[in-house]
């Protein structure tokens, strides 16, 4: 889109136009590695989307490595084959875009990847028998879940004393009546305001009945909905939490306590007649356990 400006001097061009000239000049050198430092930052939204496609096409045609610096997570997720997430110069996680989204290693990565950002709540987890109670801070809501849903959570955090962050993306929270009616994981939310985006509506609210839903706190919640029909500001509604999609982080370190592959875990088992019964499995033990009962 520079054909109309070929007779212009650089100082007569906009920042976005000069940026595109720089990109073209770099490509002409046929480099082994392309270093791009926020190349689309001065472009408007439409041209930025167009240029993302052009850069992806160039990457495929040139078959060379692109190191691409950006603060725009959409660019990182759509263009990157491997993404390095950094905070204050320190690498937080290196992975594919999908793994960053599905398996964030800490709260910063979880909040940085995804639009709108992930909802975070302070809570405690307490295992009682084969159930786990989830108690939210500044809310009267308590969820009781099957232990099987939280098997990968580090068992040290299931004592009801360790405060943790529960993270849940807005697409894993639902106001849909058909889902709410069948749900066993319901949370009361006081609606504060809406953002209508045409094809969807973002519903803002708070699980703290004293909260205002505008401040970015650990009780505010953002929900994706098809529309705001039947919803009113300041009304209190039941919302389904899909805990199977939840993420949990240590309150102090903000590191994930729900690893993709746990290093270890603790599971209750019964031993009788040389057979250990745990969950739905029975495992025959070596003879050395012949006299163990319990």
In tens, the pLDDT along 159-208 reads 999 999 999 999 999 999 999 999 989 999 999 999 998 888 999 999 99
In tens, the pLDDT along 49-71 reads 888 888 898 889 888 999 999 99
- Among left, alpha and beta (phi > 0; psi -120 to 50; other), residue 114 is left
Kind and range of the H or E run holding 139: none
* Per-residue confidence (pLDDT) for residue 242, from 0 to 100: 93
> Cβ distance 163 to 137 under 8 Å?
yes
In tens, the pLDDT along 127-168 reads 988 899 999 998 888 899 888 888 888 888 999 999 999 999
* Per-residue confidence (pLDDT) for residue 48, from 0 to 100: 87
- pLDDT over threshold 80, residue 232: yes
- pLDDT over threshold 90, residue 277: no
Torsion of CA 90, 93, 94, 97, to 10 degrees: -130
Three-state secondary structure of 40-102 = CCCCCHHHHHHHHHHHHHHHHHHCCEEEEECCCHHHHHHHCCCEEEEECCEEEEEECHHHHHH
List Cα–Cα distances, 49 to 5, 25, 31, 40, in angstroms. Answer: 21, 21, 24, 9
Distance (Å, whole) CA 154 – CA 241: 21
- pLDDT over threshold 70, residue 222: yes
* Per-residue confidence (pLDDT) for residue 294, from 0 to 100: 62
Q: pLDDT category, 271, cuts 50, 70, 90? A: confident
* Per-residue confidence (pLDDT) for residue 253, from 0 to 100: 95
What mean pLDDT is predicted for residues 213-227? 90
- pLDDT over threshold 80, residue 5: yes
* Per-residue confidence (pLDDT) for residue 148, from 0 to 100: 82
3-state SS class at 258: coil
Q: pLDDT category, 280, cuts 50, 70, 90? A: confident
């Amino acid at each position: 889109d520079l054909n109309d400006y070929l007779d212009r001097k650089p100082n007569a061009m906009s920042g976005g136009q000069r940026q595109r000239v720089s990109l073209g000049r770099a490509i002409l050198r046929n480099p082994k590695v392309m270093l791009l430092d926020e190349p689309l930052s001065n472009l408007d939204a439409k041209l930025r989307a167009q240029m993302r496609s052009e850069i992806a096409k160039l990457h495929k045609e040139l078959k060379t490595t692109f190191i691409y610096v950006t603060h725009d997570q959409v660019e990182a997720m759509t263009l990157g084959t491997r993404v390095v997430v950094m905070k204050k110069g320190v690498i937080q996680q290196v992975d594919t875009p999908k793994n960053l989204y599905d398996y964030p290693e800490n709260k910063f990565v979880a909040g940085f990847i995804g639009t709108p950002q992930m909802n975070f709540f302070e809570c405690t987890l307490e295992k009682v028998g084969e159930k786990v109670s989830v108690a939210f801070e500044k809310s009267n809501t308590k969820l009781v879940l099957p232990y099987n849903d939280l098997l990968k959570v580090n068992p040290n955090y299931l004592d009801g004393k360790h405060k943790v962050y529960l993270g849940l993306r807005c697409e894993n929270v639902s106001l849909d009546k058909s889902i709410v009616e069948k749900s066993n994981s319901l949370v009361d939310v006081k609606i504060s305001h809406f953002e209508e985006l045409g094809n969807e509506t973002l519903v803002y609210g708070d699980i703290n009945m004293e909260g205002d839903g505008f401040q970015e706190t650990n009780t505010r919640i953002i929900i994706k909905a098809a529309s705001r029909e039947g919803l009113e500001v300041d009304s209190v509604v039941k919302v389904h939490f899909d805990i199977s999609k939840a993420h949990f982080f240590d309150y102090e370190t903000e590191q994930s306590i729900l690893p993709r592959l746990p290093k270890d875990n603790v599971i209750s088992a019964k031993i009788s007649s040389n057979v250990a019964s745990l969950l739905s499995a029975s495992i025959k033990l070596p003879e050395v356990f012949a006299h163990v009962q319990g």
